Amino acid sequence: MTLVQEFDQLNYSQALESDAEAQAWLQSKGRRFGHYINGAFVSAADAQLIDITNPATAEVLGQIEMATNAQVDLAIASAREAQSSWFSSGGLGRAKVLYALARNLQKYARLAAVLETLDNGKAIRESRDADIPLAIRHFYHHAGWAKLQYQELPNHGPVGVAAQIIPWNFPLLMLAWKVAPAIAMGNTIVIKPAQQTPLTAMLFAQICHESGVPAGVVNIINGAGETGACLAAHTGVDKVAFTGSTAVGRAIRLATAGQGKKLTLELGGKSAFIVFEDADLDAAVEGLVDSIWFNQGEVCCAGSRLLVQAPIAKQLHAKLKLRMQQLRTGSPLDKSIDVGSLVSQQQFERVNSMVSEGLQAGGELFQAQSIDAPQNYYPPTLITGVDTSHPLVQEEIFGPVLVSMTFRTQAEAISLANNSRYGLAASVWSESINRTMDVAPKIEAGVVWINCHNQFDAACGFGGVKESGFGREGGKEGLYEYLKPTGLTPIAYPQSSSDTTQVALALKGTDSIDRTLKFYVGGKQVRPDSGHSLACYNHDASVAGMVGVGNRKDIRNAVSGAVKASSWTNSSAHGRAQVIYFLAENLSLREGEWLERLQALCGYSLDQAQAEFAAAISCLFTYAGWCDKYDGAVHHAPYHGVT
């Protein structure tokens, strides 16, 4: 065999992510999980149990306990008791807790990614590169909003206790999506994760415990749909946030009618993916991969309806089929696969049944791979030759199934896109910015992307219209979902007490080490060009240290260094926020040194020094929080889909 023939026959080999750490974590918990209530893990010996199964292998990973009505009552009572003190801790206090959650979630990022893949069946590269980073981003972003709450959201206060019901398709991401804005605004929460995928919620409970979240602020109860129904209808709950099917969302709205609860419902979707004849077809094909086959199509805003302009339909379909043949389906822990397992055997049977029955009404099926795969693997699927009334066009399949139709004119594309009872998201693909900006506002959807799809960020509000629900999660608009007007009475800033009495501080002996300080220019410490130093004095006229005296050349170098620092200006808003947060964190680690220096230099009492130091940290948190809050009507989203 020649070298060329060898290269022609090259194939992928497995690159499995180890699950040893995740299995060890499960074993350390006895593979049994109760609830997290009032800052403690709660378990009952006689509890009803549900198996947690790896959908890709049918391996039983562990068991969860079903919450009783009494445990639901206890969780809500704990949240109610903690709410007032949590809000009274102030914006900075809450910001520090959210920041700690973000940092600790980063520390557990790989464990969380593997647990998510074992629990849900999604490809490890998606949980590792998309879900977990975006979950962390939500806590960082909302840490900033917590600090800015009093200035930016005046005359509003927290709603109180929020019940949050999490779906199984993005267990940790949807948890972060809901938890971060709720607790940032001073609410306390009771979370019910999906019974199929509770593991990362239990890991999050551990992270809350380690991050110093006060008892009762975050409570997590496990259970099936009945537990969620009990939680949503409970009279002790002020707000319900639900992500799931339209049918269940409708039932929640009916059950809570007349109770005065605020509702956020993010429900089903049948998003249109509109490709005009002047679009970049190669980019559109990759966009389709991220749109419908990301997370096995188990995405509420998946671009499951492809609307392509008639003159380019054959060309686009040919490119798409070629790309589908290159998609790899296999073990979710394999870092080189594209499509993992559906979440359960029940979901696999639902998708398979919908496609089989739908094809009886017409349509041409294309699957690049066999459906005879083990367990719950459903191959990427394309169905063409259907019209807008076809059941597969109108019904949400919630699997890796794309249906395609053609249109002739721009007006027809808009009409087809809007011919759905859903209105969650859509995307428009064209090289003409005038066309995209004309079409986008005419589409009845909560979110419209231009030449991209499935782009999310904590700074951008997300939500639907029509039967896709109402309310927004993310961005400033998402904060109002967890706030209520407080009238015209201003919200008082939490004040820290300080003793204004000055107490003399006995100076320490002279340090023998030379303390002549250098300049900091261009990212490094440099000696002054002048060669001269200047004494700085403590409050009692003793010499505190020596600093350099700058001359014209030092000033020129400093200005030049600032001008050349374009990387800071061009970095993402999120990146700049991280640097400022990190600066505050490192200053806090040296608090003792700063307090001594402030007392010596300024003659402060200890309380005065602590007050100034706290004000400095508060200032850094404030401007870190501002970094990524306002970027205009068109949002810049730093996290992108995975191709």
Tell me, what's the pLDDT at 631?
A: 57
pLDDT above 80 (res 294): yes
- What gap in Å lies between CA 127 and CA 137, rounded to an integer? 14
Q: DSSP states of 197-249 as a string?
A: --HHHHHHHHHHHHHTPPTTTEEE----HHHHHHHHH-TT-SEEEEES-HHHH
Q: Comparing 84 with 493, which gets the higher pLDDT?
A: 84
pLDDT in tens, 196-239: 999 999 999 999 999 999 999 999 999 999 999 999 999 999 99
Tell me, what's the pLDDT at 405?
A: 98
- For the chain, how many residues are written? 643
Establish if 552 belongs to a structural domain: yes
Helix or strand or coil: residue 616?
A: helix
How would residue 516 be classed by pLDDT, with cut points 50, 70 and 90?
A: low
pLDDT in tens, 147-164: 999 999 999 999 999 999
- What gap in Å lies between CA 421 and CA 394, rounded to an integer? 8
Same-domain pairing of 405 and 543? no
Q: If you average pLDDT over residues 35-59, what whole number do you get?
A: 96
Tell me, what's the pLDDT at 639?
A: 45
Long-range CB contacts for residues 311-320, cutoff 8 Å, separation at least 24: 311/277, 312/275, 312/277, 312/279, 312/281, 313/404, 313/406, 315/281, 316/275, 316/281, 316/284, 316/285, 317/382, 317/384, 317/404, 319/281, 319/282, 319/285, 320/285, 320/288, 320/382
What lies within 8 Å, CB to CB, of 82 at 6+ separation is 38, 188, 214, 215, 216, 217
Same-domain pairing of 51 and 200? yes
Establish if 401 belongs to a structural domain: yes
CA torsion sign for 479, 484, 486, 488 is: positive
How would residue 143 be classed by pLDDT, with cut points 50, 70 and 90?
A: very high
pLDDT above 70 (res 308): yes
Same-domain pairing of 260 and 303? no
R_g (Cα) of the chain, nearest Å? 28
Same-domain pairing of 255 and 118? yes
| Exposed/middle/buried for residue 258 (C-beta within 10 Å: 0-12, 13-18, 19+) | exposed
Tell me, what's the pLDDT at 367?
A: 95
Is 300 one of the annotated active-site residues of the chain?
A: yes
pLDDT above 80 (res 551): yes
Residue 330 contacts residue 428 (beta carbons within 8 Å): no
Of the candidates 17, 116, 298, 300, the residue annotated as catalytic is 300
Of the candidates 126, 266, 396, 467, the residue annotated as catalytic is 266
Tell me, what's the pLDDT at 373?
A: 62
What lies within 8 Å, CB to CB, of 434 at 6+ separation is none
Q: If you average pLDDT over residues 608-624, what whole number do you get?
A: 92
Establish if 554 belongs to a structural domain: yes
Where b means 16+ CB within 10 Å and e means fewer, 143-158 reads: bbbbbbbbebbeebbb
Tell me, what's the pLDDT at 509?
A: 43
Tell me, what's the pLDDT at 495?
A: 43
Smallest Cα–Cα separation from 442: which of 410, 464, 470, 471? 410
Same-domain pairing of 294 and 256? no
- What gap in Å lies between CA 108 and CA 207, rounded to an integer? 8
Establish if 469 belongs to a structural domain: no
Tell me, what's the pLDDT at 642?
A: 35
Same-domain pairing of 400 and 343? yes
pLDDT above 70 (res 632): no
Smallest Cα–Cα separation from 185: which of 202, 206, 162, 164? 162
Token pair of 132 as six digits? 């977990």
How far from 452 is each of 58, 90, 133, 419, CA to CA, in Å?
35, 39, 19, 22
Tell me, what's the pLDDT at 501?
A: 33
- What gap in Å lies between CA 160 and CA 135, rounded to an integer? 23
Tell me, what's the pLDDT at 633?
A: 53
pLDDT above 70 (res 492): no
What lies within 8 Å, CB to CB, of 184 at 6+ separation is 94, 95, 98, 142, 143, 145, 146, 149, 479
Region of poorest pLDDT, from 4-13, 257-266, 293-302: 4-13
Q: If you average pLDDT over residues 366-383, what whole number do you get?
A: 86
Establish if 636 belongs to a structural domain: no
Same-domain pairing of 190 and 336? no
pLDDT above 80 (res 507): no
pLDDT above 80 (res 498): no
pLDDT above 90 (res 630): no
Q: What residues make up the domain containing 288?
A: 272-462
Tell me, what's the pLDDT at 634?
A: 56
pLDDT above 60 (res 106): yes
Establish if 642 belongs to a structural domain: no
Tell me, what's the pLDDT at 270?
A: 97
- What gap in Å lies between CA 144 and CA 618, rounded to an integer? 11
How would residue 567 be classed by pLDDT, with cut points 50, 70 and 90?
A: confident
How far from 470 is each of 256, 294, 365, 458, CA to CA, in Å?
15, 24, 34, 18
Tell me, what's the pLDDT at 636?
A: 54
Smallest Cα–Cα separation from 518: which of 482, 488, 545, 491? 545
Smallest Cα–Cα separation from 368: which of 378, 360, 359? 378
Region of poorest pLDDT, from 142-151, 198-207, 281-290, 530-539: 530-539
How would residue 86 be classed by pLDDT, with cut points 50, 70 and 90?
A: very high
Establish if 640 belongs to a structural domain: no
Token pair of 356 as six digits? 């089989």
pLDDT above 50 (res 591): yes
Read off the amino acid at residue 419.
N
Same-domain pairing of 249 and 323? no
Report the mean per-residue pLDDT for the chain: 91
pLDDT in tens, 459-478: 999 999 999 999 999 999 99
- What gap in Å lies between CA 226 and CA 207, rounded to an integer? 27
Q: DSSP states of 305-343 as a string?
A: EEEEEGGGHHHHHHHHHHHHHH--B--TTBTT-SB---S
pLDDT in tens, 381-415: 999 999 999 999 999 999 999 999 999 999 999 99
Share of the chain above pLDDT 90, in %: 78
Q: How many domains does the chain have?
A: 3
How far from 160 is each of 46, 144, 184, 187, 309, CA to CA, in Å?
32, 20, 12, 5, 50
CATH code, domain with 137:
3.40.605.10
Is 266 one of the annotated active-site residues of the chain?
A: yes
- What gap in Å lies between CA 422 and CA 358, rounded to an integer? 19
CA torsion sign for 81, 83, 86, 87 is: negative
Same-domain pairing of 128 and 71? yes
Region of poorest pLDDT, from 110-124, 472-486, 574-588, 629-643: 629-643
Tell me 509's DSSP state. Answer: P
Q: If you average pLDDT over residues 407-436, what whole number do you get?
A: 97
The residue ranges of DSSP E strands in 500-571, in sequence order, are 519-521, 524-526, 533-537, 543-548
Tell me, what's the pLDDT at 504?
A: 30
Tell me 128's DSSP state. Answer: I
- What gap in Å lies between CA 217 and CA 85, rounded to an integer? 10
Q: DSSP states of 481-494 as a string?
A: GGEEE-TTSPPPPP
pLDDT above 80 (res 512): no
Same-domain pairing of 81 and 143? yes
The phi, psi pair for 462, rounded to 5°, reads -135, 135
What lies within 8 Å, CB to CB, of 550 at 6+ separation is 519, 528, 529, 530, 558
CATH code, domain with 419:
3.40.309.10
Establish if 198 belongs to a structural domain: yes
Same-domain pairing of 229 and 297? no
pLDDT above 60 (res 638): no
pLDDT in tens, 50-70: 999 999 999 999 999 999 999
Helix or strand or coil: residue 264?
A: strand
Same-domain pairing of 201 and 104? yes
